[in-house]
Amino acid sequence: MKGEVEVNVDDIISTLLEVRTAKPGKLVKLKESEILGLVRTVKTIFLEQPMLVEVSSPVKVCGDIHGQYYDMLRLFEYGGLPPESSYLFLGDYVDRGRQGL
């Protein structure tokens, strides 16, 4: 699309992880162009994936996080950050609320 900006996913991840040691509720500031670029990138990756995937062990299986970003960070704190640790999230990633994604 016209005007689309390439995003550096690693830079966005670094920005998102900067709040790991902050008190829950600290806002992460991303530009609209970064969010839109990230959504386009993720959409492409998801659409390329098969309906069923085989995962290699060890893998950490996580239930619903209901969009709670700080809960997800806590899971990563306990289990290690990807890609060093593998995770399988069972769904319900986005939800409502003040701290929801």
Q: What is the pLDDT of residues 41-93, one digit of tens each?
A: 999 998 999 999 898 999 999 988 888 888 889 999 999 999 999 999 887 87
CB 37 within 8 A of CB 4: yes
Q: What is the pTM of this model?
A: 0.75
State phi, psi for 60 to the nearest 5 degrees: -95, 125
The DSSP 8-state label assigned to residue 100 in this structure reads B
Q: Where are the beta strands (DSSP E) in the chain?
A: 60-62, 87-89
